[in-house]
Amino acid sequence: MILAVYDKPVLLGGNPILKQPIPIARPTLPEINEIQDEFWQIYNSEMVTNSGFVQRFEERVADYLEVKEAVCVSSCTSGLMLVMKALELTGEVILPSFTFFASGHALLWNNLVPVFVDCSPLTYNLNPEIIQECITPNTTAIMAVHIFGNPVEIEPIQRVATDNNLKLIFDSAHAIGTRYKGKLVGSFGDAEVFCLSPTKVLTAIEGGIITTNDQSLAKKLRMGRDYGNSGNYDCEFLGLSARMEEFNALIGLKGLEHIEETVAKRSRLKDIYQENIYQIPGISFQQIDVGNTSSYKDLSIIIKKDEFGLDRDQLAYALDMEGITTRKYFYPPLHQQILYSRYQQYPLPATEFVSNNILCLPLYSHMEEKIVQDICQAIWRIYRYREELWQHCR
């Protein structure tokens, strides 16, 4: 279905299609009556951190992802930091530049050197064909990131890691509910780390969870989230204060009950976007390889100015005037940020193309389909009036 709306865009004096502004994301939380009994149970127990609900959440996540161990932490970033420390990594770690800066921060906090590798211009994920040529005698690990919940090419990356005796960590911040060749991510590599912040497919309001099949690593991570304390007030290694609160675990547990339904809903919303605007010249969607399933943490499009008639920034501005929030995500890529600029070693043309032209559109799990259709109408009419808008935005 292609929508055509002939009223002018707001920038040219038209009326907004949407009655209320639309944010880029909203947390989908359980109803208060679903959690009030357990809330008071936690409150009255006076055990508000790292107790029964945290343990139950860890068990449920491990069962869902079919992995031996799940370790709750205060954030995905702290989880990544702890994994790097627990694996005793040194030297260089290969990772994409097209990622959220927490991926890189976890390395710098561990005195590791990030080596940025280019992404695929279609999937936006780490390109496994380039990794081998970036390995040096100082390389100790690969960090792969499932961008927006789209699974990376796990098997070829795992082969490179195995052949070169490298650790393999997955930044799975976006990827709860993601499937690689039909299998849920969560049990691959040495460890995976998921994010449970408000914008994620599964939220605990705040928090993260590490999954691994290495039980000795899990034991070390549980110490690490409690300063490195083994339980007798005698720290064995440098840890953090990174415990998850019981209230967060409760929210996570309730969300986990509906995770498959949630991922299916987000996939349906993506389909509505794609069905309605895929024929607009100059707009393309992130490629999900056959056999894989994305969690669609974010819904992104690439805008090619020569075909669409406006560039990414102009479309974002026109949508903002319609009350539609968008995000240039991830822009700039890590290697172009002040903190990381001194680490670029290789050309990253695909990364720069994607970052310069990508735009994320609103998507959240309880979003009404009508809102998506209205956003598509707004994009269509911006495209229809592209020449006038180009003159207006110059």
* SS3 at position 335: helix
Sequence-ordered list of residues with C-beta below 8 angstroms from that of 256, at least 6 positions apart, any chain: 57, 60, 61, 64, 202
200 carries an active-site annotation? yes
Could you check whether the bond before residue 57 is cis, i.e. omega within 30 degrees of 0?
no
Specify whether the CB–CB gap between 65 and 186 falls below 8 A. Answer: yes
| DSSP summary character for residue 88 | T
- Strands 113-117 and 167-171: what pairing? unpaired
Residue 251 CB-density burial (10 A; 0-12 exposed, 13-18 middle, 19+ buried): buried
The number of residues in the chain equals: 394
Specify whether the CB–CB gap between 185 and 178 falls below 8 A. Answer: yes
Distance CA 389, CA 1 (A): 25
The residue from 8, 68, 181, 200 that is catalytic is 200
Distance CA 75, CA 380 (A): 39
Phi, psi of 61 (to 5 degrees): -65, -45
* Token pair listed for 279: 């024929």
Specify whether the CB–CB gap between 344 and 332 falls below 8 A. Answer: no
Active site amino acids: 200
